[in-house]
Amino acid sequence: MNPVNPPTSNADLSNGWELIADSFIEKRNPGIGLAIVKAWAESLKPGATILDIGCGFGVAYSQFLINAGFKVCGIDASPTLIKEFQRRFPQTEAACEAAETSSYFGRRFDGVIAIGLMFLLPEEAQLQVLQKVARALNPHGKFLFTSPLQVCIWKDILTGRESKSLGKAVYVRAMLKEKLSLVGDYCDEGGNQYFDFVHSAS
């Protein structure tokens, strides 16, 4: 397990999550989107390795995946959230890192999830993370992330930060360059949209 190493810069690398971390831990609705993550995980082999980007404090996605027997690694740029993650799951690897520069992209995974994160990143950072995820996936590896289907800009309800979806066409095109194909897009009970990509064997 990696220790918590908070960023030394004064910049908020957590994209607003650190400021609302305590409230988020207290009020998080653990049910939203969980059914989609459960269905996604069913296509993975038992004991598969999964990277949870923007894992927060682990409820409810990492919690479910860990309990289901998957080997999970979590990264989050909020020191408060990752500290709570490590308290809840002391045997699970986790690190306080920004998605764009995470050391975990030097490893390989069978699956990657990024729930509630991608659209908070600037366009260039989104494309960078998409590329890094693709290159960290094993053949037939799967990637699930949230962002609206349409191109749009809005203020995120939780963080108050400007958010931007690049839109389905851009995400699909970026992933195809990295040999990932879209196998589905879904909407959960909270109105959040999910993209489900799979890596080709070649």
At 105-123, the pLDDT tens digits run 999 999 999 999 999 999 9
Distance (Å, whole) CA 57 – CA 76: 9
Peptide bond into 60 cis (omega under 30): yes
Q: What is the mean pLDDT of residues 175-193?
A: 97
**pTM, 2 dp:** 0.90
Q: Cβ(182)–Cβ(195) under 8 Å? A: yes
Give the model's pLDDT for residue 20: 84
Average pLDDT of the segment spanning 127-138: 97
pLDDT score, position 9: 42
- Over residues 30-39, the mean pLDDT reads 94
**Backbone torsions φ then ψ of 12, nearest 5 degrees:** -85, 95
Supply the CATH classification number for the domain 18-199: 3.40.50.150
DSSP string for residues in 139-194: EEEEEEEE--SS-EEEE-TTT--EEEE--HHHHHHHHHHTTEEEEEEEE-TTS-EE
Q: What are the strands, taking DSSP E only, across 48-100?
A: 49-53, 71-76, 93-96
71-90 pLDDT per residue, tens? 999 999 999 999 999 999 99
